[in-house]
Structure 1
Amino acid sequence: MMDIRQLRYFVQIIECGSLSKASRQLHVAQPALSQQLSKLEDLVGKPLLLRSSKGVRPTENGLALYHHARFLLRQLDQAVTIARSQAGEVQGMVTVGLPATTVAAIGLTLVQRIRERYPSILLNVVEGMSGHIGQLMRLGQLDLSVLFGDDVSPDLSTEPLLVEELFLMVPEHSRFVRKGLTSITIAEASAIPLILPTGSHGLRQRIAAEFASRSLSTNVVAEIDSLALLMNCVYNEIGATIKPMGAVMQEGARGRSWRSLSISDAHFRRRNFLYSLPPDRLTTAAAVVASEIKETARELVESKTWPGFEAIVTSARGREAAPA
């Protein structure tokens, strides 16, 4: 009979990519780990791993088992959390995937709200590039996520969240942009050294498409997928960047002042969508957190404290319309 321990071992092996690494992570001797894996393969009746000098990777059957095992283990962990909590409270672990700029915009407020209103919910926030967050969401390893398109997977529930304007961002003391300017044309932006995410990043593709539509090229001097490092480089005047306002929303706490220039002749907007597991797999705790994410985004839009955030307008038929 298959047991939970075997599934935990198997999931760890897949995620580590080798038995030796999994052995160290689990604090289990490698021979014992191999023995449990062999028992699991015997039970399934098919090989679960492909072994090579570079490590291990799952077979097709192994990958299918991995996805179901991950979901089962998460449900089990939530059940244990519920059993340990007080009756009547909304409880459980909720895993939320957020891109870095979204974390900067709503992350702190979201964590504070959940902690104050639902102390029995364990909020697990995973920060990463949108492509990585989307992959985790498709694999069922996240309960909720915020992503920048509504076509990640037809198997997931999707709701419009907000629209972000993209700005040319430079420090207050920048030598690249004349003092007093509040906007810039896309042609002027093309002449400025830029620091952007790598080509696989959705934001980079969005920027490249906008420039290409006008037969303009970008003067990219560095490609960086770490938001913190990218903004440090911009602050030290290696180049400017194009980002939503979330990129600088926590910068004031660091004592750094920024200028965010709108691009006057380009429709630089990015739509944000809230993704969730299908209703039959969404826990009460996850539904509560989804509601708090939407409320946090709504307050961000309505407060007008930070420019560049708009609601996604829907028509009377429920279809998305262009934001005002």
Structure 2
Amino acid sequence: MEFRQIQYFVCLYEEGSVTRAARRLNIVQPALSMQIAKLEEEIGQLLFVRSPQGMQPTAEGRQMYRAFLPVLGDFERAREHVMRKDGELTGHVRVGMIATIAQGILVDAMLEFSANHPQVELSLTDGFSGTLTDAVSIGQLDAAIINKPRHPVALSMEPISDEDLMLVTGPLHVDMQKAVAFNHLPSLKLVLPTRQHGLRGIIESFGQAENVSLMPTVEIDSISAILELVFKSDFCTLLPCVAVQRQLGGGGFRSYNVTSPKLTRQIVCITHPRRPPNPASLVFLSILFRRIKDLSVAK
């Protein structure tokens, strides 16, 4: 089994297509197919099956991906360390974050980092807290910024900020007093994320504690779609300030504090205890941390 074959296998697994994987590896498709076939012959197991959706990994393929992805990550970190010159950051940053964080700070953080460290490649993704946690666990991500898990996880966790959730309305909604009691929320026309979304879990935990049942009229996981619906109708929603920073500054949207109880969430960064982030990832994370904290202070 050659290291190159493992690299090819991981790339094909992640791309799900021989064409895309060959393009990413900068090789011809027959060369990729030949190496995968040799690998399957050597280990005596089928790793992929071809389907209309592309190359689908078998159970053995998924197990092999989980086993070898951390090895490739360790190799990449070692290569970055050896190749770094005169303190200049190089390498690859793989960071995930929940959509409500990405909505408010991702682009500005990326532009700030890239301007100062042009040799670093950024791979950034958003998703649900559970999905991002799994990606850090198997080494697919260096780190992820998520809502604090309600159950213990076998990962390193660093608190970043406590953030208020606010009631957000658009220009078509009637104006209200600046403070809205939590038990008044069921009387409003709400749009909230689905129960898959970590933010919905946080909101419902407050509801259970207060014996208040929130039954949204509409459920949408896309934060941008939620905000568009709120802007164009009399719907309202509950979102953290980082997710609506730009919209509130641009006019049209209004925000209200929720009281009795005050709604908060804790933002944390998770990493793998045996695979610490590389120097470039640490610098990028520091920019994200600062921007999240600045928003909390500004609020």
TM-score range (shorter-chain normalised) is 0.7 to 0.9
CA distance, structure 1, for counterparts of residue 43 and residue 29 of structure 2: 21
Q: 1:258 aligns with which of 253, 259, 262?
A: 253
What is the TM-score normalised by the length of structure 2? Answer: 0.83
Contact 1:85 1:120 in 2 (8 A): no
Q: 1:227 aligns with which of 220, 223, 226?
A: 223
Assess, with a 3 A threshold, how the Cα gap between structure 1 residues 54 and 3 changes in structure 2: closer, same or farther.
same
Assess, with a 3 A threshold, how the Cα gap between structure 1 residues 73 and 153 changes in structure 2: closer, same or farther.
farther
CA distance, structure 1, for counterparts of residue 28 and residue 283 of structure 2: 41
Residue aligning to 1:203: 199
Q: 2:175 aligns with which of 160, 164, 178?
A: 178
Assess, with a 3 A threshold, how the Cα gap between structure 1 residues 266 and 252 changes in structure 2: closer, same or farther.
closer
1:2 aligns with 2:2: yes
Higher-helix-fraction structure: 2
Structure 1: which 5+ residue stretches go unaligned?
308-324
Residue aligning to 1:123: 122
**Which letter does structure 1 place at the counterpart of 2:290?**
E
Structure 2: which 5+ residue stretches go unaligned?
none
Question: Identity of counterpart residues, as a percentage?
Answer: 28
Assess, with a 3 A threshold, how the Cα gap between structure 1 residues 200 and 90 changes in structure 2: closer, same or farther.
same
Per-residue Cα deviation, 1:156-196 (whole angstroms, up to 9, x for no partner): 2211110111111102x242x434x1011122211111111
Counterpart secondary structure, 1:250: helix
Contact 1:146 1:272 in 2 (8 A): yes
Contact 1:99 1:128 in 2 (8 A): yes
Residue aligning to 1:247: 243
Of residues 186-195 and 86-95 in structure 1, the stretch that sits farther from structure 2 once superposed is: 86-95
CA distance, structure 2, for counterparts of residue 235 and residue 289 of structure 1: 33
Per-residue Cα deviation, 1:53-108 (whole angstroms, up to 9, x for no partner): 87664445422321344344455566666777643323221111111221233324
CA RMSD of aligned residues (A): 3.1
Residue aligning to 1:269: 264
CA distance, structure 1, for counterparts of residue 119 and residue 30 of structure 2: 39
Figure out how many residues of one structure are paired with residues of the other and give that number: 296
Assess, with a 3 A threshold, how the Cα gap between structure 1 residues 13 and 112 changes in structure 2: closer, same or farther.
closer
Residue aligning to 1:134: 133
Q: How does 1:1-324 map to 2 (within 5 A)?
A: 1-4=1-4, 6-17=5-16, 21-23=17-19, 25-26=21-22, 33-49=32-48, 57-74=56-73, 86-150=85-149, 154-171=153-170, 173-175=171-173, 177-179=174-176, 181-237=177-233, 239-251=235-247, 255-278=250-273, 280-301=275-296, 304-305=297-298, 307=299
Assess, with a 3 A threshold, how the Cα gap between structure 1 residues 211 and 98 changes in structure 2: closer, same or farther.
same
Contact 1:167 1:245 in 2 (8 A): yes
**Which letter does structure 1 place at the counterpart of 2:164?**
E
What is the TM-score normalised by the length of structure 1? Answer: 0.77
Per-residue Cα deviation, 1:28-68 (whole angstroms, up to 9, x for no partner): 88776544322102222444346778766444542232134
Assess, with a 3 A threshold, how the Cα gap between structure 1 residues 209 and 102 changes in structure 2: closer, same or farther.
same
Contact 1:23 1:33 in 2 (8 A): no
CA distance, structure 2, for counterparts of residue 123 and residue 16 of structure 1: 17
Assess, with a 3 A threshold, how the Cα gap between structure 1 residues 122 and 50 changes in structure 2: closer, same or farther.
closer
Counterpart secondary structure, 1:237: coil
Assess, with a 3 A threshold, how the Cα gap between structure 1 residues 152 and 278 changes in structure 2: closer, same or farther.
farther
Assess, with a 3 A threshold, how the Cα gap between structure 1 residues 56 and 267 changes in structure 2: closer, same or farther.
same
Per-residue Cα deviation, 1:113-163 (whole angstroms, up to 9, x for no partner): 423444443333212232332222222111121111256774422111101
**Which letter does structure 2 place at the counterpart of 1:178?**
D
Counterpart secondary structure, 1:225: coil
Of residues 80-89 and 286-295 in structure 1, the stretch that sits farther from structure 2 once superposed is: 80-89
